[in-house]
């Protein structure tokens, strides 16, 4: 496969990883965007007007601790918000399924609080998770595919168990790019056979990116307090950047991957998606394999005496994005950072093909192993999925195909020397000859690059029109990546990514928080029909 072809596939996957589930009818025609004014979707409704709009975890806890509000009331407000924004009104389609036990969980957390038991900062806090994450309850886990509708998963994923132990209220599951955008090179980010098309809350005819599209749109639109997405390559950071929120892709292994519908065990990870760095840091630490307090690294002066490198390979795809970054660099300098410019990854042209071979090989093996943990489904293997889609082409293959599935099915297993060589090379090129090399040579604390370009218009006929991004090197290496709002292009959010060595989350959180506090770029979306 040529590098250019592989780059196009990378663009498709730059928004993949999680699953979609839930009710609602499938959208069958593109959203009209030809003559609508640049204004809220109806004259009588302001969808940004919400009592809990932009509230943080600490603000919600203050309300509950003071007795002004309890978890049940907060949960009901978010459920009402989902009904108004997601199922009616602008039909965001970010939530694929509501947890029928959500109010019951909230009531239980309120009883505990009344008797003096507060489990921690997530006690009573409503959370939405991507529908490729197992929950051992009444909800489905489908990755957005109609083929996976049937019996729920038998057990909670480990991160879901930790979420429950922390006292969080699981509101429901979010829609996603079907199969985490690993089905077709012509897919539309945020579309799934089960959930329909997720829309960007800043402008409804624009893409929410993916594959954690539903989580990104839901968190941005204030349908929950915080959310969880998953990433193989870009699927947390792209929907976070394009929906104007904070996203953290952790170091591979910081969070358990147990109970998550897989693409690649050497790249997949779940991670926090939130409206603030603080809330993302809270969630990151509580769900880590070894729980830790990342909030201790939140320092508004955290940019002082740091060295930050500009990963210049990822610039130049948009003059307007470059202008935002020039402003961002000035802010970094004004707050005490030393900037090292014009850094390039010498081997960047080599790692794309290696990653592709790794992904298609691991997908077949990992998915087939995962499906053995599920009972009562219509499919038991990747081959079954391909056949199901062929038989249900009018729904599943209406807008794009499954050529990635078909390519992966032809792979011969994880003992194949071609796969093993690709795995070795992909890690070497992005680790010791990539991020580690640049950081050692220039004594850096972190690297920065644009997370995304402005959101493109949804196009089911031609697929996504991805402009640019920077997720690949951190994703392939398995190293951490944090995106924070950096500004807007014609009202569409653009993020800045801070990434670096393995296990450098404390440093990246410090830098991202300091930038966030110095800029305060995050704002609630306006649910416009179009950009004019």
Residue 286 to residue 303: CA distance in whole angstroms: 25
- Determine which one of 188, 212, 213, 235 is catalytic: 235
Residue 107 to residue 110: CA distance in whole angstroms: 5
Phi/psi-derived region of residue 129, left when phi > 0, alpha when psi is between -120 and 50, beta in every other case: beta
CB atoms within 10 A of CB 44: 5
Q: What is the 3-state secondary structure (H, E, C) of 183-245?
A: CCCCCCCCEECCCEECCCCCECCECCCCCCHHHHHHHHCCCCCEEEEEECCCCCHHHHHHCCC
117 is catalytic: no
| 203 within 8 A of 183, measured Cβ to Cβ | no
Phi/psi-derived region of residue 158, left when phi > 0, alpha when psi is between -120 and 50, beta in every other case: alpha
Residue 261 to residue 456: CA distance in whole angstroms: 28
Q: Which letter does DSSP use for residue 133 in this model?
A: B
Residue 424 to residue 313: CA distance in whole angstroms: 23
- Determine which one of 11, 17, 130, 173 is catalytic: 130
Residue 90 to residue 86: CA distance in whole angstroms: 7
Residue 252 to residue 264: CA distance in whole angstroms: 11
130 is catalytic: yes
Can you say whether the dihedral through the CA atoms of 280, 240, 204, 531 is positive or negative?
positive
| 163 within 8 A of 122, measured Cβ to Cβ | yes
Structure token pair of residue 247: 């996203």
Specify the residue for token string 């402003």: 327
Q: Which of 205, 218, 223, 215 has the alpha carbon at shortest distance from 180? A: 215
First-to-last C-alpha distance (Å) of the chain: 40
Structure token pair of residue 17: 């990883």
- Determine which one of 71, 189, 211, 220 is catalytic: 211
DSSP state string for 55-118: --HHHHHHHHHHTS--HHHHHHHHHHHIIIIIISTT----EEEE-TTHHHHHHHHHHHHHTT--
Q: Which letter does DSSP use for residue 433 in this model?
A: I
487 sits in which H/E element: strand 481-489
212 is catalytic: no
CA dihedral 272, 268, 191, 390 (to 10 degrees): -160
Structure token pair of residue 460: 């089911």
Q: Which residues are catalytic?
A: 130, 211, 235
């Amino acid at each position: 496969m040529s590098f250019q072809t592989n780059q196009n596939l990378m663009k498709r996957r730059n928004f993949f990883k999680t699953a979609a589930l839930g009710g609602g009818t499938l959208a069958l025609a593109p959203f009209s965007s030809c003559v609508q004014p640049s204004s809220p979707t109806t004259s009588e409704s302001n969808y940004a007007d919400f009592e809990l709009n932009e509230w943080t975890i600490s603000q919600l806890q203050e309300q509950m601790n003071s007795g002004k509000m309890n978890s049940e009331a907060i949960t009901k407000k978010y459920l009402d918000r989902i009904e108004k924004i997601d199922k009616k009104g602008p039909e965001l389609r970010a939530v694929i399924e509501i947890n029928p036990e959500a109010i019951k969980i909230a009531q239980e957390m309120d009883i505990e609080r009344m008797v003096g038991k507060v489990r921690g900062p997530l006690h009573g806090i409503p959370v939405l998770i991507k529908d490729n994450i197992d929950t051992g309850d009444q909800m489905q886990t489908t990755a957005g595919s109609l083929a996976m509708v049937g019996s729920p998963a038998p057990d909670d994923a480990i991160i879901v168990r930790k979420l429950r132990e922390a006292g969080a209220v699981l509101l429901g599951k979010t829609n996603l790019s079907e199969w985490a955008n690993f089905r077709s090179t012509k897919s539309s980010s945020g579309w799934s056979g089960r959930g329909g098309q997720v829309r960007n809350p800043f402008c409804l005819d624009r893409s929410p990116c993916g594959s954690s599209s539903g989580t990104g749109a839901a968190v941005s639109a204030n349908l929950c307090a915080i959310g969880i997405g998953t990433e193989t390559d870009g699927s947390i950071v792209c929907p976070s950047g394009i929906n104007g929120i904070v996203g953290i892709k952790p170091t591979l292994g910081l969070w358990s991957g147990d109970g998550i519908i897989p693409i690649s065990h050497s790249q997949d990870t779940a991670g926090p998606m939130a409206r603030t760095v603080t809330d993302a840091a809270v969630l990151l630490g509580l769900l880590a394999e070894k729980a830790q307090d990342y909030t201790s690294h939140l320092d508004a002066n955290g940019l002082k005496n740091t060295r930050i490198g500009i990963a210049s390979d990822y610039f130049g795809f948009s003059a307007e994005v470059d202008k935002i970054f020039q402003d961002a660099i000035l802010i970094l300098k004004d707050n005490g950072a030393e900037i090292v410019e014009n850094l390039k990854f010498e081997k960047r042209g080599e790692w794309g093909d290696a990653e592709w071979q790794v992904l298609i090989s691991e997908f077949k093996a990992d998915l087939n192993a995962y499906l053995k943990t599920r009972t009562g489904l219509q499919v038991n293997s990747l081959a079954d999925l391909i056949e199901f889609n062929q038989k249900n082409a009018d729904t599943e293959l209406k807008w794009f195909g499954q050529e990635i599935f078909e390519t992966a099915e032809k792979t011969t297993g994880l003992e194949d020397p071609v796969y093993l060589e690709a795995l070795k090379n992909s890690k070497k090129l992005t680790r010791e000859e990539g991020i580690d090399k640049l950081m050692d040579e220039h004594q850096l604390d972190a690297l920065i690059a644009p997370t995304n370009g402005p959101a493109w218009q949804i196009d089911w006929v031609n697929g996504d029109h991805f402009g640019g991004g920077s997720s690949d090197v951190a994703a392939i290496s398995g190293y951490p990546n944090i995106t924070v709002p950096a500004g807007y292009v014609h009202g569409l959010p653009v993020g800045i990514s801070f990434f670096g060595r393995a296990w450098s989350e404390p440093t990246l959180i410090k830098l991202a928080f300091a930038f966030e506090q110095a800029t305060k770029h995050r704002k609630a979306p306006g649910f416009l029909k179009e950009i004019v």
